[in-house]
Chain A
Amino acid sequence: MTKKINIKINILTSKLVLCLLMLFMLSGCSGGREINDLEIVIGMGVDKDEDTGNILLTAQVVKEGEMEKSSGSGGGGGDGKAFWNVTGTGESVFESVRQITHKTGNRLFVSHNHVIIFGKDLASEGLQKYIDFFLRAHEMRPTAIILIAEGRALDVMNAKPETEKLPAMNIAKLVKTYGFTSHFYKVNMKDFASCLMCDSRSPIAPLVGVSKDGDNKDIYMSGMAVFKNDKMVGRLNEDETRGLLWVLGKVKSGVLLISFPNKQGKAAFEILEAKSKVIPEIKDGKIVMHVKIKAESSLSEQTTAEDLATIEAFEKMQKAQAEVIRQEIMAAFDKSRELNADVFGFGEMIRKKHSNKWKSLKDKWDEIYQTIELNTDIEVKIQKTDLLKKPASPKKEEK
């Protein structure tokens, strides 16, 4: 009996599912979007429209057909560009995004947006009101990289790279490979928002500029922009940026150049690994930050004829490298004090370690920041000398 009922129910339910499927089919509900109807956006730029003071939004849309063509053939219509920079204006970012549909006919699809570039004048006005859309829109991803253009974002996006087909992808690649020099740093939307939300910490973002060389426009990275709250107040140059990254422990690789004071010539080292540890200490109302850095490097180049692969030379060079690092850190620190922007996040560290004292410090953090002492303890080890034991120079005569 029960078995029969069960079988019956099976039939019933399978039919029910079928019926529902049919009904859905009939009602034609779907909500899907065909891939042909999408304008795939891979990069966005936000500028200030000079005439109206509104937002000038640039969206870089991929032209799929051009992408497929091999660069050799080149034929067919169009200028061979695989991207299209569409602009729209409006009083809010979202409004301008929708404004763009007047030109594209299709809705912008921003899930694959890799970079967001803000113009410099916008950045110095404050980014708070522009950034919301990029965090809120469901298609936006928190991994999108944020950059500040030296001039206008539109110009950066127009500069066509030589090897890559898409400028935005090129920029994203540039930023992601910051580790070669550690002269700038990758900041994504989540990191930026995280800094914005913080009471004390100042957000930073990489700066990107365009260098003109005749007809050729090239993009280069030129350090980091420093924000106070949400307004851009200054910049860190390359060495200062690396000083900052030393403290944060984000240095991946790079070149350490030391020169010998008495002799001529220089030695260049590749940074292999860097670790850092920051311990905040509050001693009778005075804040001391102990920064401990351990780095490893390898000798990559030397311009002197001297044999550097000796224990004494190693020790000397290790000390010299530590000094270089210290100088970089101090440069960054001085700059941040000058701008009064806590780019290191020292305030956060104190909040986490000494949360009860933080409450009293919080309100006067700007003044206190100027009085912080930085105590560095840097240790560098040279790991190897690569392919050479000695430089390719004439043998010195033994005494």
Chain B
Amino acid sequence: MFRYISKVIRYLSLKNKNASQDTTTGKVNNEPISSDLKRNLEVIKGILRDSSDVTFHEFNFGHDRRFKGALIFINSLADKNEIHKNILQPLMYDVLLLKKDANMDFTKIDTVSKNLISITDTQKLVLASDLIDHLLAGATILLVDGAKEALAIKSQKVEHRGIEEPGTEAVVRGPREGFNENVNVSIALIRRKIKDPDLCIEKFNIGERSKTDVYIVYIKNVANPKLIEEIRERLDRIKIDAILESGYIEQFIEDAPYSIFPTVSNSEKPDKVVSKILEGRAAILVDGTPFALVVPMLFIESFQSGEDYYSRPFLASIMRLIRFLSYIISALGPAIYVALTVFHQELMPTQLLISIAAGRERVPFPAILEASLMIFTFDILREAGVRLPKAVGQTVGIVGALVLGQASVEAGLISPIMVIVVSSTAIASFAVPAQTDSGTILRYIYLALAGLAGGFGVIMGLLATLLHLASLRSFGTPYLWPIVPLNFSSLKDTFIRMPLWTMSKRPSAVVWDESDNYRQSPGLMPSPYKKDSGGSK
């Protein structure tokens, strides 16, 4: 009920806001650029009245300096060198190289751009609002007296990092490059890996104020057109003032906003994103962040790492099983400990029971409180360690983990086995980075259930989680695919990773055309002695 009312209120206020925006910016929106340079400059100055970093440079050019022009750019965004070399110099000096009797009419912007400007990326503008948009995006605007159009010259210089190895997804084997805050660099990284005319890069502009560039990247004929349509629709729905990170987009397009499980995956690594694009997924790149979103996401993806495919399948399979195991430990560890020690002592071997009992002899808290305290302390430690500078962070880690742990055990506040349980849980939770969030939350939920009703509570919690996961969908794809619903042929890349030459098909839940989704020809198993390898003499 309250929710309904608050929704109505929110909706109404949003409507008002939209209406008011229309009235204030309406004048600018529709005004065309006039042929009078002076007037144009006044209008623009009026719009950008408070910005001190906008340069208005008026100049005369042509053989006898009879044409008037103006350059407008934002100091901080434009590359002045380029402006001098490729715009001002041609206009003011190189123009003299033209024959005087050519008699060119430089009041036409077309003539100017075709004959004088030596920058390729230019665009003609008619509306003042477009002009402002381009200016703010970093373009240099050329206005010529007498022309009813302006020229936007893309001469921006964006400061950005070099291509570095991403901190979140370090690998032992595999490419080290990572995406960049500059979306153009990110797209370039993808383009370099897929040299295919079918690779589509669709541009969106989201954010009333930030005007952030958002790109959908996919391969036509591989990605399901319905999926792309759905992404377009969901992106179009977003009406927001600014997109600062891809997380903003994620939260507006995800399927299950109330679920603790993410239904949109993200990555910093081009090779990972490209492999998913090749499977028929779509990536969403956002300017200003190295994190690309990939949809649809499957639960299984959290346990697959790029390295699984680069290294040989045997260890990769074991590592994957270990990842599954560690996720289970991270979610269930403390809960099982509490359920066993409080409710089901008969299920432990006698020796273990005796040593646990001996360890707990002086502990004043009930086990559930002890466990929650420990987990809580660990989460504090982790949060503090992440935020602090590296040097101090290590100290916090040592003080927290070693000193605090040791001292609390010796003081009899915590039993030593609890320390073991919680710390192994904590370590395990980092083995599956994509599900660390859900693992942490589940740990608290299961712990509460175990404290309430022991093993019964944990089983019920697990069942509810399973049903919840089974009912989730990410852009139409069942989240737990291929386990739920069962798809036998795809299980070869689930719990273990079969050799690459066995996985000749793309995952059938994601692709468009299920009948023809071969990514490699079947039967590629290497067998060196099959053919007449004549050189063996």
- Hey, which bits of chain A sit against chain B, CB under 8 A? 7, 10-11, 14, 17, 21, 24-25, 29-36, 38, 40, 42, 62, 64-65, 67-68, 109, 111-112, 114, 139, 141, 169
Contact = CB atoms under 8 A, between A and B. Distances in A.
A112 B358 contact: no
Contact of B358 (A25, A30, A38, A67): A67
A21 B357 CA distance: 29
B361 A65 contact: yes
A112 B258 contact: no
Contacts of A32: 342-343, 451, 454
A114 to B, nearest CB: 7
A40 B354 contact: yes
B356 to A, nearest CB: 6
A30 B452 contact: yes
Interface stretch (B123-131, B308-316, B345-353, B525-533): B345-353
Contacts of A25: 448, 452
Given A21-B448, A30-B453, A35-B356, 19 more contacts: A10-B471, A14-B468, A24-B453, A30-B451, A33-B345, A34-B366, A34-B367, A35-B342, A36-B357, A36-B363, A40-B350, A40-B354, A40-B357, A42-B350, A62-B354, A67-B354, A68-B355, A111-B346, A112-B346
Interface of B: 256, 258-259, 341-343, 345-346, 350, 353-361, 363, 366-367, 448-449, 451-454, 464, 468, 471
B334 to A, nearest CB: 15
Contact of A68 (B259, B358, B468): B358
30 contacts: A7-B258, A10-B259, A10-B471, A14-B468, A21-B448, A21-B449, A24-B453, A30-B342, A30-B452, A30-B453, A31-B343, A32-B342, A32-B454, A33-B342, A33-B345, A34-B367, A35-B342, A35-B345, A35-B357, A38-B357, A62-B357, A64-B354, A64-B357, A65-B361, A68-B358, A68-B359, A111-B345, A111-B346, A114-B350, A169-B350
Contacts of B366: 34
B464 A65 contact: no
Given A10-B258, A21-B448, A24-B452, A65 B346 contact: no
Q: Please provide the 9 A-B residue pairs with the shortest distance between their CB atoms, ordered closest to farther.
A: A111-B346, A32-B342, A64-B358, A68-B358, A64-B357, A112-B350, A32-B343, A35-B341, A35-B357
Nearest to A8: B3
Contacts of A17: 464
Nearest to A138: B346
Nearest to B370: A34
A10 B448 CA distance: 21
A25 B361 CA distance: 26
B259 to A, nearest CB: 8
B364 to A, nearest CB: 9
A200 B186 CA distance: 85
A84 B258 CA distance: 55
Contact of B360 (A29, A36, A42, A111): A36
B178 to A, nearest CB: 35
A186 B27 CA distance: 99
A25 B259 CA distance: 23
A40 B342 contact: no
Contacts of B454: 32
Nearest to B339: A32
A109 to B, nearest CB: 7
Contacts of B256: 10
B355 A11 contact: no
Contact of B452 (A21, A64, A111, A112): A21
Contacts of B468: 14
A24 B445 CA distance: 13
Contacts of B342: 30, 32-35
Contacts of A112: 346, 350, 353
B451 to A, nearest CB: 7
Contacts of A114: 350
A67 B464 CA distance: 41
Contacts of B357: 35-36, 38, 40, 62, 64
A11 B4 CA distance: 13
Nearest to B258: A11
A109 B464 contact: no
Contacts of A36: 357, 360-361, 363
Contacts of A24: 452-453
A305 B276 CA distance: 81
B297 to A, nearest CB: 18
Chain A CB count within 10 A is highest, among B258, B350, B468, for B350
Contacts of B448: 21, 25
A304 B356 CA distance: 55
Contacts of B452: 21, 24-25, 29-30
B346 A139 contact: yes
Nearest to B461: A17
Nearest to A168: B350
Contacts of A40: 350, 353-354, 357
A36 B369 CA distance: 14
A14 B341 contact: no
Nearest to B454: A32
A212 B188 CA distance: 89
A7 B471 CA distance: 11
Contacts of A111: 345-346
Chain B CB count within 10 A is highest, among A14, A36, A109, for A36
Nearest to A62: B354
Contact of A67 (B258, B346, B355, B360): B355
A139 B319 CA distance: 40
A230 B473 CA distance: 65
Nearest to B349: A112
B463 to A, nearest CB: 11
B347 to A, nearest CB: 9
Nearest to A11: B258
A67 B468 CA distance: 46
A74 B350 CA distance: 23
Contacts of B464: 17
A169 B350 CA distance: 10
B345 A38 contact: yes
Contacts of B359: 68
A35 B355 contact: no
B449 to A, nearest CB: 8
Chain A CB count within 10 A is highest, among B342, B357, B359, for B357
Contacts of A21: 448-449, 452
A68 B354 CA distance: 9
A302 to B, nearest CB: 42
B360 A35 contact: yes
A114 B448 CA distance: 33
